Amino acid sequence: MKFPRPIITKEHGSWAVLLIPMAVAAGTVGAFNVNALILVFASLGVFMSYVPVHSILREVLKRSPHWEQIRPAVIWGSLYSGIGALAAAPLFLQGYWFLLALGAVGSGFFFVNFVLTRQLQKSILTDLIGVAGLTLGAPAMYYVLTRWLDETAFVLYLLSFLFFGSSVCYVHMKIEITKTKKSDWTFSEKLTAGRLNLAYHIIVIAIVVALSFYRLTPAMAVLAFTPMTIHAIWGTYRLSSRVSFSRLGFALLAQSIVFSLLWIIIAHT
């Protein structure tokens, strides 16, 4: 029997949502060791099992499931999950048991995302829930490097979620615009079409400023969000139904790298 082709997520941006928060946490701590590398491999295993497990659940919940159709998902889901579990074993042997709690929270987000995508299809809400699960890599990496889950771990998680949530709002705005096939937009129409995107970024900046005011982040933390905010505002002003989503994906990846570098520099200033 022929071995099935690998099942890999088609949402390429999700790799950045997984890995960048871990890089941000490692950069904040100023360390990266063997345990951190183990966490990356374990996280990748669990992350890659997401798509096949979704496929299995969708088929199982049907009245007449076709078991042969989900054979590839069962094989790859088991393989990915097994790799994730084996990779994480050395961390548990060293006493990093709070990773189980973070994993449970991530599984909760996974389940809620699955339920909502069956009812609402893909939406801003479901994508934000997915981001909330993936950005748990930030507190997980911080915990592995410091053995603490303190307010810094929470702040890193919050900042990572807020940043990647901005990409969700921006991309969904672009998706909705392409559906209109409209070429000419008045300024008021642009504001209406981009109101959620603009409101989100205003709220994010307000939250980051508030965190700085209460000394939970450096005073200059808002600078890490400035490039993405400018991009979102400019993108709203330059609205067009012609969107190259491949170019947009690379632009957002670049923004996430810039965000991580700026944050690390600011955190050590």
| Structural domain of 80 | 1-149
- What does pLDDT average to over the chain? 92
Same domain assignment for residues 139 and 187 = no
Write the Ramachandran bin of 95: left for phi over 0, alpha for psi from -120 to 50, otherwise beta: left
Residue 1: per-residue pLDDT: 55
What number is the average pLDDT over the span 3-21?
A: 88
Crossing angle for the helix pair 137-146 and 98-120, to the nearest 10 degrees: 180
Residue 186: per-residue pLDDT: 84
Given 112, 132, 149, the domain boundary residue is 149
The answer to whether 161 and 106 have CB atoms below 8 angstroms apart is no
Amino acid residing at 107: S
Same domain assignment for residues 103 and 234 = no
Per-residue pLDDT tens over the stretch 139-181: 999 999 999 999 999 999 999 999 999 999 999 998 888 888 7
Same domain assignment for residues 103 and 204 = no
Given 111, 132, 149, the domain boundary residue is 149
Per-residue pLDDT tens over the stretch 48-77: 999 999 888 888 877 676 777 788 898 999
Same domain assignment for residues 183 and 98 = no
Same domain assignment for residues 194 and 121 = no
Same domain assignment for residues 232 and 125 = no
Residue 253 clears pLDDT 70, i.e. is over it? yes
Same domain assignment for residues 101 and 195 = no
Same domain assignment for residues 116 and 23 = yes
What number is the average pLDDT over the span 223-241?
A: 91
Overall domain count for the chain: 2
Same domain assignment for residues 25 and 77 = yes
What number is the average pLDDT over the span 29-48?
A: 96
Same domain assignment for residues 199 and 144 = no
Same domain assignment for residues 134 and 99 = yes
Confidence band, pLDDT 50/70/90 cuts, at residue 120? low
Residue 187: per-residue pLDDT: 85
Per-residue pLDDT tens over the stretch 181-216: 777 788 888 889 899 999 999 999 999 999 999 999
Distances (CA, A) of 61 to 64, 113, 115, 170: 8, 15, 11, 33
